[in-house]
Amino acid sequence: MSDEKIGGLWSRWKHGYQKIRHAPDWPEFAGADWLDRIMSVEVTDQFFQKQGRSIARWTLTSADGRTLIVFLKRHYVLPRKLGLRAVLFPHRSWSPGLQEWDHLAWAEKQGLPVPRAVAAGELVGPRGHLQSFIAIEELKDMLPLHEAVPLASSTLEARTFDRWKNSLSDELVRLSLGFHGRNTFHKDWYFCHFYIDKGDTNSVPNEWAGRVRVIDLHRMARHRFMLPWRKAKDLAQLLYSSDVPGVTEADRQGFWKNYSQHTRLPWLVGWLARIKWRLYRRHDAPKG
Q: What is the 3-state secondary structure (H, E, C) of the chain?
A: CEEECCCCHHHHHHHCEEEEEECCCHHHHHCCCHHHHCCCCCCCEEEEEECCEEEEEEEEECCCCCEEEEEEEEECCCCHHHHHHHHHCCCCCCCHHHHHHHHHHHHHHCCCCCCCEEEEEEEECHHHCEEEEEEEECCCCEEEHHHHHHHHHHHCCHHHHHHHHHHHHHHHHHHHHHHHCCCEECCCCCHHHEEEEHHHHCCCCCCCCCCCEECCCCCCEECCCCHHHHHHHHHHHHHHHCCCCCCCHHHHHHHHHHHHCCCCCHHHHHHHHHHHHHHHHHHHCCCC
- pLDDT (0 to 100) of residue 285: 60
- pLDDT (0 to 100) of residue 2: 65
pTM: 0.94
- CATH number of 142-284: 3.90.950.20, 1.10.510.10, 3.30.360.10, 3.40.50.150? 1.10.510.10
- pLDDT (0 to 100) of residue 7: 86
Best CA proximity match to 136, nearest among 156, 160, 120, 113: 120
Spell out the per-residue pLDDT of the chain, length 288, in tens: 666 778 899 999 999 999 999 999 999 999 999 999 999 999 999 999 998 999 999 999 999 999 999 999 999 999 999 999 999 999 999 999 999 999 999 999 999 999 999 999 999 999 999 999 999 999 999 999 999 999 999 999 999 999 999 999 999 999 999 999 999 999 999 999 999 999 999 999 999 999 999 999 999 999 999 999 999 999 999 999 999 999 999 999 999 999 999 999 999 999 999 999 999 988 876 555
- pLDDT (0 to 100) of residue 122: 97
- pLDDT (0 to 100) of residue 3: 65
